[in-house]
Amino acid sequence: MENFHNRKDITNTRPPRGFTDIFRRELGFSHPNAFARRFSASEVLVKNMSLYGKLDGHEGCVNAVEFNSTGDLLVSGSDDRQVMFWNWASKTRLFAYASGHTDNIFQTKIMPFTDDCRIVTSAGDGQVRLGLLREDGIVDTAMLGKHQGCVYKLAVEPGSPYIFYSCGEDGFIQHFDLRSSSATKLFCCSSVRNNKQPPSKIGLNSIVIDSRNPYYFAVGGSDEYARVYDIRKCQLDSTRNSDQPVNTFCPHHLIGSNNVRITGLAYSSFSELLVSYNDELIYLFEKSVGLGSSPSSATSEDLKNIHEAQVYSGHRNAQTIKGVNFFGPNDEYVLSGSDCGHIFIWKKKEAKLVRLMIGDQHVVNQLEAHPHIPILATCGIEKNVKMWLPLGSDMPPLPANVKEIIEANRQGREDRSRVTLSPDVIMHVLRLQRRQTLEYIERGHSRADIVSDDEDAEGYLLGFLDGDASSDEDSPRNSRDCNIS
């Protein structure tokens, strides 16, 4: 009878799907290519993501990471104004060059089909620059264009070795063609609250191109709307262009809000738009649930007929200009960093949190997926890039105190939501928080001084609270300081 019960328990225990896929492939029931894609999306692999290694070499916070098209190289940009190329597999730096920027680098992009020899960068100095790697190993740099204020993001036209776009805090979207000698300002993004108020500039933090339909690009910044534009309606003469979008996206409850802004955008391979809000949540919009070109004219009845977006919660996005991204061969997962120092991974469809990893002593900002295999690169306040692979681990996918971490992040969001701030004030508060965070780090209050990197790490991260907004406004800004982005 005891053996019978043991056999019954075994029968009722289903193997993880990933191992089932391996079994089917070995028996010839699954095509190798189909197997690779399904297995790469397996929750088993995601739950076994572990730290593979750190890429050390930068002397400032790392704000940007990107793989090349084949995935064998990684490029990074930092507050030290250096651009570095890495062989991530061997954890070695191949070469570095001075970008020519006078402030912190926020974006690095390798232009496709250029043999990884053309790198475009943007920074806090408003410049957009090109790095050209010559055959003798020397890198020539040149300024391609300039914004007033920071330029956090660039967007490269899929498959083009020449064309890309930038967006800046000045509200302008610029078009670049490396075959020409100058950039073109397409238009300035603006918002009209009502007919009595003049248009107000929207400072932009993020720009992405829909790879499924490269004519469309989305931008987000200092208000609640993600705006989608059609490049075919934009002439390369800014005097003839309007900033009328073809579609806009916003969660219903945030329409009319004055104290939120967008920090990160990402398009999936199915044209879904992922939007991350400052001190709010992350939302996934299908392309059919937009508010149209003029959201201010949408009626309450119109909103009732539009399905709400999928919501991803648990993280905290308050202190920095955080990115957001997809993961998996068919974008099965959603990724975000957090002010609590963790990397959050949710299943896209169910919005279920499946993995929570410590990614930084302070804040995780950017996450970049390998173009072909389940590998992840992340960066944040620390002066390195971290590589994550499904190596297997004895650690549970969710730590024992996951509820406490999520609750602390939620409480922080609610405390902030009680205060109504204008977009300009929000930007000012963020800069003050950045200064206080840097001062905190520079005083030597690192996690290593308080707890070990192992058992007590979670408890420390829970205690890393927001800085007070009443920092000294007269303190000088050092452009070499770590710019949280």
Percent of all residues in the chain with a pLDDT value above 90, rounded to a whole number: 62
Provide DSSP, 234-293: --S-GGG-----SEEE--GGGTT-SS--EEEEEE-TTS-EEEEETTS-EEEE-GGG---S
238: phi > 0 → left, psi -120 to 50 → alpha, else beta; which?
alpha
Query: Which whole number is the average pLDDT over 320-348?
Result: 95
Closest CA to 188 of 203, 176, 206: 203
pLDDT recorded at residue 484? 41
Residue 171 contacts residue 202 (beta carbons within 8 Å): yes
**How far, in Å, CA of 369 to CA of 376, rounded?**
5
Q: Does the structure show a pLDDT above 60 at 21?
A: no
Residue 122 contacts residue 106 (beta carbons within 8 Å): yes
Closest CA to 439 of 397, 407, 476: 476
pLDDT recorded at residue 33? 54
Give the per-residue SS3 of 99-125. CCCCCCEEEEEECCCCCCCEEEEEECC
pLDDT recorded at residue 4? 36
Split at pLDDT 50, 70, 90, the class of 271 is very high
What are the pLDDT digits (tens) for 47-93? 999 999 999 999 999 999 999 999 999 999 999 999 999 999 999 99
What are the pLDDT digits (tens) for 91-114? 999 999 999 999 999 999 999 999
Split at pLDDT 50, 70, 90, the class of 8 is very low
Question: Within 13 Å, how many C-alpha atoms sit on residue 133's CB side?
Answer: 17
pLDDT recorded at residue 302? 67
Q: Does the structure show a pLDDT above 50 at 355?
A: yes
Query: Which whole number is the average pLDDT over 314-342?
Result: 95
Residues 6+ apart with CB under 8 A from 138: none
Maximum C-alpha span of the chain: 85
What are the pLDDT digits (tens) for 112-154? 999 999 999 999 999 999 999 999 889 999 999 999 999 999 9
Which amino acid makes up residue 75? V
Closest CA to 376 of 333, 319, 312: 333
> How do strand 376-380 and strand 384-390 relate by DSSP bridges?
antiparallel
Q: In this structure, what DSSP letter does residue 294 have?
A: -
> How do strand 273-277 and strand 262-267 relate by DSSP bridges?
antiparallel
Residue 360 contacts residue 336 (beta carbons within 8 Å): no
**How far, in Å, CA of 312 to CA of 416, rounded?**
19
pLDDT recorded at residue 112? 95
Closest CA to 247 of 222, 280, 220, 283: 220
The first and second tokens of residue 483, run together, are 């710019």
Q: Does the structure show a pLDDT above 50 at 467?
A: no
What are the pLDDT digits (tens) for 22-49? 555 556 655 555 545 566 678 999 999 9
pTM of the model: 0.80
Query: Which whole number is the average pLDDT over 164-187?
Result: 94
pLDDT recorded at residue 396? 87
Question: What is the distance of C-alpha 307 from the center of its chain?
Answer: 25
What are the pLDDT digits (tens) for 186-238? 999 998 655 556 778 999 999 999 999 999 999 999 999 999 999 998 877 66
Sheet (strand 364-369) strand order: 49-56, 384-390, 376-380, 364-369
Q: Does the structure show a pLDDT above 50 at 469?
A: no
392-397, long-range: CB < 8 A, 24+ apart:
392/48, 392/50, 393/48, 393/50, 395/50, 397/46, 397/47, 397/48, 397/354, 397/355, 397/356
pLDDT recorded at residue 24? 57
Query: Which whole number is the average pLDDT over 315-322?
Result: 92
What are the pLDDT digits (tens) for 395-407? 789 999 999 999 9
CA distances from 319 to 122, 247, 250, 339, 381 (A): 21, 29, 22, 7, 11
